[in-house]
Amino acid sequence: MSRSNPQPDASPLAGGLPRGGIGDLIASLPAWSGALAALVVLMIVTAMVNPAFITPVNLFNVLHHNAMLGIIAVGMTLVIILAGIDLSVGSLMAFAAVLGAMAFGIVHAGGEGSEWLAVGAVFAVAAAVGLAGGLLNGALIAWGRLAPFIATLAGLVAYRSASTWIADGGHVSARSPLLETIGRGLAIPFTNIGRVGGEVIPLTVPSAVIAFIVIAALGALLLRRTRLGRHIYAIGGNEQAARYSAIAVERMKFITYGIIGLLAGIAAFFHIARFESVNSASAGQLLELEVIAAVVIGGTRMQGGSGSIIGTVIGVLLIGVIRNMLILLDVNTYAHGLVMGGIIIVAVLAQQLAARRAV
């Protein structure tokens, strides 16, 4: 039986309150409402248990540690709404970062080349490699007729192998004052988080966080205000109906996977700027799972056709707060994955329950 074309989450107050009681009112809320409520409650509880959580420095650290996750999660939202999946983003980010760091070494060889040109080369190479990898995935899925799971699983293995092979299984460094400045971010005037040698230390906003905010805003605009966004929702809701509506399904898939690849490349640039080094074996490892978790927790349906960028942003923040809470509460590091796995299961079960109520 065909499904009707889905639409972006609407306001629960549009058209008045539902008439079926509190259950229908809850069911009419946006899919990300539950994640938002969980985020607020978790922040309050964590702040009560450990007041250090709500300090500006710690909150910015939470954002900084999860900004690259968020950048890629914006692209994953588009892919999952399209009824696809991309398991290769962590390995692709590592591959792009390795080649970007190598580009820096070539342009800035021996410290003789232009530092600005070298940093520009890092961004250009990382973004280009990410875009190329994403477009390759998209071509295999759109015209090669490979299932997204298979095509991107192959990419996960291939890109990781390529990055470790090129770097000989080791680190690739890209150290410069300019990269360090980009990684550190922008200082907020007239703020003071301490003093060193009599000098005031201002609070800084990491560049990756600024990039995440801008990319999330652009992603939301793309989904809600452009033809590409409408087509992504239509294909995810009912691909056959989208074909009957003369939507270029293959081209839309190609473009969407190109977008997430580009965002993986941009995240690779900020990885280099933050750490000034890339571990070819561990950079981005299991990142794809955290990205998918953030998107699903934010209310995007794995079956496609429904989701929003605001939900994904909330999902990213929720994962960041949970990870920070576990650290502040001194929970064993090996148990963190267990907690994340449980959260994913609860989120998916909640989605299925909401879907049953909507029928």
pLDDT in tens, 102-118: 999 888 876 666 888 98
**pLDDT at residue 1, as a whole number:** 43
Q: Amino acid letter at 312?
A: T
Report how far residue 237's alpha carbon sits from residue 53's, in angstroms, rounded to the nearest whole number. 40
Query: What are the φ/ψ torsions at residue 168 (nearest 5 degrees)?
Result: 55, 35
> Residue 354 is encoded by which pair of tokens?
């909401």
CA-based torsion, 205, 207, 212, 214: positive or negative? positive
> Residue 127 is encoded by which pair of tokens?
């973004």
Report how far residue 170's alpha carbon sits from residue 42's, in angstroms, rounded to the nearest whole number. 39
Q: Which helix (H) or strand (E) holds 122?
A: helix 115-142
Query: DSSP letters along 61-84, please?
Result: HHHHHHHHHHHHHHHHHHHHHTT-
Higher pLDDT residue, 220 or 13?
220
Taking the model in full, what pTM does it have?
A: 0.87
Are the CB atoms for 310 and 70 separated by under 8 Å? no
Could you give the C-alpha distances from 244 to 2, 120, 248, in angstroms and in order? 12, 44, 10
Query: DSSP letters along 128-144, please?
Result: HHHHHHHHHHHHHHHTS
Helices (H), 276-329: 287-297, 309-328
Which of these, 335, 344, 338, 337, lies nearest to 293 by C-alpha position?
344
- pLDDT tens digits, one per residue of 227-259: 999 999 999 999 999 999 999 999 999 999 999
- In the chain, the domains with their CATH numbers are 31-358 (1.10.3470)
Are the CB atoms for 292 and 88 separated by under 8 Å? no
Q: Which 3 state secondary structure label does DSSP give 332? A: coil
- pLDDT tens digits, one per residue of 54-105: 888 888 888 989 999 999 999 999 999 999 999 999 999 999 999 999 999 8
> Residue 244 is encoded by which pair of tokens?
């009957």
Could you count the other beta carbons within 10 Å of the beta carbon of residue 177?
8
Mean pLDDT of the chain: 85
**pLDDT at residue 30, as a whole number:** 75
Report how far residue 272's alpha carbon sits from residue 13's, in angstroms, rounded to the nearest whole number. 44
Q: How confident is the model at residue 16 (pLDDT cuts 50, 70, 90)?
A: very low
Percent of the chain with pLDDT over 90: 49
Are the CB atoms for 300 and 311 separated by under 8 Å? yes
Q: Is the pLDDT of residue 183 over 50?
A: yes
Report how far residue 92's alpha carbon sits from residue 72's, in angstroms, rounded to the nearest whole number. 11
